[in-house]
Amino acid sequence: MQKFDPLPDFAEITPSAAIAAQTHGWRAKCLQRLIRLDMPVPRSVSLPASLVRCIAAGQAMDYASVLHLFGERPLISVRPSPANPDWGGPSTVLNIGMNGARHAELVERHGQAAADALYLRFVQGYAVHVARLDPDMFEGREPSGEALRAALRAYADEMEEPFPEDPARQLSEVLRSMARAWEGTSARLLRQAKGAPEDAALGLVVQAMAQGIGQGISGSGVIQFVDPVTGEPQITGRWLRQAQDRAALRDTDEALYLTRDARGPSLQDIAPGIFETLSRQGTACRAKLREEMQIEFTIEDGRLAVIDAVRVQRSSRAGLRIAVDLADAGIITRNEALLRVEPRALSELLHPQVDPRGPRDVFARGIAASPGGATGRIVFSSAGAQASAARGEPCILVKRETAPEDIRGMHSAAGVLTERGGITSHAAVIGRGLGLPCIVGASDLRIDPRERRITGADGRVFREGDIVTVDGTTGEVLAGAADMLPPALDGHFRKLLSWADAVRDIGIRANADTPADAQTARDFEAQGIGLCRTEHMFFEDARLVAMREMIFADSPKDRAAALARILPMQRNDFVQLFEIMEGLPVCIRLFDPPLHEFLPHSRDGMRELAEALDRPLSEVTRRAEALTEFNPMLGMRGVRLGIVLPEIYDMQAQAIFEATIEIAARGGSVVPEIMIPLVSAKREVELVKTRVDAVAAKVRTAKSRDFDYKLGVMVETPRAALRAGDIAQHAAFLSFGTNDLTQMTYGLSRDDAGRFMNTYVQQGVFPEDPFHILDVDGVGELLLIGAERGRRTREKLVLSICGEHGGNPESISFCRKAGFDYVSCSPYRVPLARLAAAHLALLEPLIEDVEIQ
């Protein structure tokens, strides 16, 4: 531990004081900015983190000289000031300095009730947060003289000493307890989960109390200038007469509106001058602090004091809109706006919404706390939610209210519903942070966790396991599963991503197998299709039979008949893909059907297939046995099928070329890219290329039309990466299929690794599951070797990645540094990938030639 002698200095926060967020914390810095804007901030003193550390270690500072700054009979608050507001901190303590004499004075000035309420508030805060007494003994009492006396008695009984009267002792205890709370294990874990470094330090701010009680207009409240859920410009907030601090935000019917409102009196009606001042200050605050802030204010006998300002709590949707609006207003740059939006947060904006046009069987209503719709089975505990997630069943976590220990349960749930709480309650804040549809304060609902049932407003009873839908956008709870709408991508979303596109330096395509996927890819503005797995076009029932017929055919004649049936389906598929993609590149992978995925496994399945193929069951069973492989993932997959049964790839090439001609006939244009899967030798590529070229020539002649196409190779085996120099002689592009490449580099089955992966990761054998996070050391080295050798043969060789890793920011970073042209990922990851790529371009300068070590 660092010892200081003398102790580091505290500093009064003035416009010119040396205050920095790193040393004094964000709150101290923010207050200084407010003071520089001439806002009426009560006298404030900042204790730097170095001093707070000494206090936590038990060193005593000169408390009297701090108090001295606040006059003869100080009444002060202490607030936490970590370097980053997201790291939390101990609770604020108000009204330090309150004691019998001060109470008597306040009785004189403001009357018995107000003085009792202030004193009680202090005793409660002190007992719970400083002396760490049981909150049940102190909280939840209505302020009154009796409640005050009871609280003082309870304190004295528990602590075996009277409540401390000396302000210096009160301050020293408050500072010490706050400093130590910061060092506690749970506080440390919580802030580290939010990205705080291990040595994150806490500053503290001591501030003169602005009372919020008095004869004239008095009270306290908060004001913000955007809607926290949508980010739309709008004045929102609450104000409560004769109150301190954030009392207006607690559940109370007496809180008033800020702007003129038909439902009741507002601050704008009662004190228009103050309202105007606050509005002006909000504008100044936004411009100077370059952020949307929530201002906390107090009015004492008509005099305004600005106590504090914090970043407006916001949903991901609001965060994006605020960043774009600040950039549009010229307050921040577009690049800054890009960096303010976390790529992973975009997934919340992509959430489905309950279709307002569909039937809605509403059985309860609450506060719409986090947008999006989710359907799932009711669970009543976090453990239940986790168990449900482990079974792969979406669930709705239903609780009276949530607490920090519910976070893991919330991570596992599809949606959250609570009976209590408001827009800033735990469930609401965490739900918005996680992008989890959430309804809070559904008070017309009765939740009985012991009986594991809920009773709706209309008396209907729902039990654990029943399916319900939460509509976090409207606050309605619906019985059963609701119709869902795909997410709406508004103008701000598109604008931010267009800014991202302007700075990023790597292409983003989508893996899309069906017209629906392609449409999603298009909606998310992918720059083309990087992988169309053609065998996935045959998973639906009617088509599966055609595919199986082809696989089962054991004579060229039968196979030709099956292929003739598939050809028009494929041609039509490709026409649709080309049309949807409107001239953007479409990379079609020739069939790569792991045969076992297409073979029936049960006797019933065999019988169905025998019926569909109109063959005897015994013949179908025999054929299935003949086709069964010991290692299907390493068997007759990919190009091996194309070499053994070349007429299959011939058919696909014909369908692709005929679709190309049809698009041209409709006035469009496309240069299809044909990709050969699971290659391991140059000769495979030569053989396929010769036949594909021949098919192209035949189609050109038959249709009297010309067209272009590109032929490329999917690098999925280590040998293909090592021999990329040879392979590139015949390939216009190489796309790394990192799913198979990971499987084969590790010798780790894609389908079976799950059984031991957890143990491997837990024991640190692998830092992460390499099927999720690209193994840059091993598989990555093969990527670099393949890229380098391929480009040595063909300088303009187009390089990409299309395994599941393609959408991870870490993989994008790797591919970008390796000089890849694009990454291809699932359509729903395209927006994230676009923004992540922009972040990389802004934050990681490119190292030109990546050397192989």
Q: How far is the CB of 646 from ligand PEP (least distance, A)?
A: 21
Q: Which of 129, 191, 286, 533 binds ligand PEP (CB under 6 A)?
A: 533
Q: Is position 178 an interface residue for ligand PEP (rule: CB under 6 A)?
A: no
Nearer to ligand PEP, 503 or 753 (CB): 753
* Strand runs labelled E in 83-160: 93-96
Residues of span 591-650 touching ligand PEP by CB under 6 A: 592
Binding flag, residue 739, ligand PEP (CB under 6 A): yes
CB of 818 to Mg ion, least distance (A): 20
Residue 673 binds ligand PEP, judged by CB under 6 A = no
* Minimum CB distance to Mg ion smaller for 473 or for 717: 717
Q: Which is nearer to ligand PEP, 246 or 589 (CB)?
A: 589
Residue 593 CA to residue 546 CA, distance in Å, equals: 13
Q: How far apart are CA 413 and CA 398, in angstroms?
A: 10
Distance CA 35, CA 287 (A): 14
Q: Which of 103, 411, 426, 596 is catalytic?
A: 426
Dihedral angle, C-alpha 125, 127, 128, 132, nearest 10 ° = 140
Closest approach of ligand PEP to the CB of residue 519, in Å: 21
Is 379 in contact with 413 (CB distance < 8 Å)?
A: yes
Report CA 312 to chain centroid distance, whole Å.
18
Q: Is 802 a catalytic residue?
A: yes
Residue 826 engages ligand PEP in binding (rule: CB under 6 A)? no
Binders of ligand PEP in range 543-602 (CB under 6 A): 592
Strand, coil or helix: 333: coil
Regarding 476 and contact with ligand PEP (CB under 6 A), the answer is no
Q: DSSP characters for 228-282?
A: TTT--EEEEEEEEET--TTGGGSS-TT-BBSS-BTTB-BHHHH-HHHHHHHHHHH
How far apart are alpha carbons 703 and 568 in whole angstroms?
16
631 belongs to an annotated ligand binding site:
no
The two tokens of residue 205 are: 């701010």
Q: Which stretch binds ligand PEP (CB under 6 A): 115-123, 334-342, 415-423, 731-739?
A: 731-739
When the beta carbons of 51 and 675 are compared against ligand PEP, the nearer one is: 675
Stretch that binds ligand PEP, among 228-236, 324-332, 354-362, 738-746 (CB under 6 A): 738-746
Selecting among 54, 802, 815, 825, the annotated active-site residue is 802
Tokens linked to 833: 């990938």
Establish whether 737 is an annotated binding residue.
yes
716 binds ligand PEP (CB under 6 A): yes
Q: Annotated binding residue at 738?
A: yes
**477 HSE (CA, 13 A, CB side):** 36
Q: Is 802 in the site for ligand PEP (CB under 6 A)?
A: yes
Torsion angle of alpha carbons 39, 42, 46, 47, nearest 10°? -160
Q: Determine the size of the site formed for ligand PEP (CB under 6 A).
A: 10
**Smaller CB distance to ligand PEP: residue 316 or 735?**
735
DSSP symbols for 461-493: EEETT-EEEEETTTTEEEES---EEPPP--HHH
Rounded-to-integer distance, Cα 284 and Cα 309, Å: 12
Q: In whole angstroms, what is the distance from residue 316 CA to residue 244 CA? A: 30
User: What's the closest the beta carbon of residue 532 comes to ligand PEP, in angstroms?
Assistant: 10
Sequence-distant (≥ 6) Cβ neighbours of residue 19 within 8 angstroms: 11, 13, 28, 29, 32, 46
- For the CB of residue 799, give the shortest distance to ligand PEP in the complex, in Å: 14
Q: Which does 51 bind (CB under 5 to 8 A by kind): Mg ion, ligand PEP, none?
A: none
Distance CA 148, CA 139 (A): 11
Tokens 């000769």 belong to 683
Least distance from C-beta 830 to ligand PEP, angstroms?
16
Q: Are 657 and 571 in contact, with CB atoms under 8 Å apart?
A: no
Q: Give least dist CB 570 to Mg ion, A.
A: 20
Which of 170, 335, 738, 808 binds ligand PEP (CB under 6 A)? It is 738
Query: Are residues 49 and 23 in contact, defined by beta-carbon separation less than 8 angstroms?
Result: yes
Of 146-154, 352-360, 407-415, 736-744, which segment contacts ligand PEP by CB under 6 A? 736-744
| Amino acid, single-letter form, for residue 196 | A
The answer on whether 739 is annotated among ligand-binding residues is: yes
- Cβ(700)–Cβ(651) under 8 Å? no
Is residue 415 part of an annotated ligand binding site?
A: no
The answer to whether residue 737 forms part of the interface with ligand PEP (CB under 6 A) is yes
Judged by CB under 6 A, which stretch of 308-316, 445-453, 732-740, 809-817 contacts ligand PEP?
Answer: 732-740
Cβ-closest position to ligand PEP: 737
Q: Which amino acid is at 227?
A: D
**For ligand PEP, which stretch binds (CB under 6 A), given 141-149, 204-212, 371-379, 735-743?**
735-743
Asked whether position 811 contacts ligand PEP by CB under 6 A, the answer is no
| Distance in Å from the first CA to the final CA of the chain | 42
Closest Cα partner for 710 from 734, 687, 681?
A: 734
Which of ligand PEP, Mg ion, none sits in contact with 824, Cβ below 5 to 8 A by type?
none
* Chain centroid offset of residue 314 CA: 13
What is the bridge-based pairing of β-strands 373-379 and 303-311?
A: unpaired
Of 178 and 531, the one with the shorter C-beta distance to ligand PEP is 531
Residue 87 or 733 having the CB closest to Mg ion: 733
DSSP code of 130?
I
Name residue 736's amino acid.
Answer: F
List the single partner that 325 binds among Mg ion, ligand PEP, none, CB under 5 to 8 Å by kind.
none
**∠ CA(444), CA(450), CA(455), 5° rounding?**
25
CB of 525 to ligand PEP, least distance (A): 22
Indicate the length of the chain as a whole number.
853
Token digits for 91?
A: 């609770």
Choices 48-56, 733-741, 776-784, 790-798 (CB under 6 A): range interacting with ligand PEP: 733-741
- Binding partner at 797 among Mg ion, ligand PEP, none, C-beta below 5 to 8 Å by kind: none
Nearer residue to ligand PEP within complex by CB, 230 or 826: 826
Active site residue 587: no
Instruction: For residue 740, state whether it binds ligand PEP (rule: CB under 6 A).
Output: yes
CB atoms inside a 10 Å sphere around CB 477: 27
| Adjacent-strand bridge partners of 714 | 735
- Phi and psi at 210, nearest 5°, equal -100, 125
Out of 409, 803, 807, 831, the only residue in the binding site for ligand PEP (CB under 6 A) is: 803
Is residue 230 annotated as involved in ligand binding?
A: no
572 has binding-site annotation? no
Neighbouring-strand partners of residue 236: 224
Nearer to ligand PEP, 437 or 507 (CB): 507
308 binds ligand PEP (CB under 6 A): no
Judged by the rule CB under 5 A, the positions of this chain that interact with Mg ion are 716, 737, 740
Binding positions for substrate: 533, 589, 716, 737-740
Question: Which positions make up the binding site for Mg(2+)?
Answer: 716, 740
Catalytic center residues: 426, 802
Please report, as ranges, the residues that interact with ligand PEP according to CB under 6 A: 531, 533, 592, 716, 737-740, 802-803
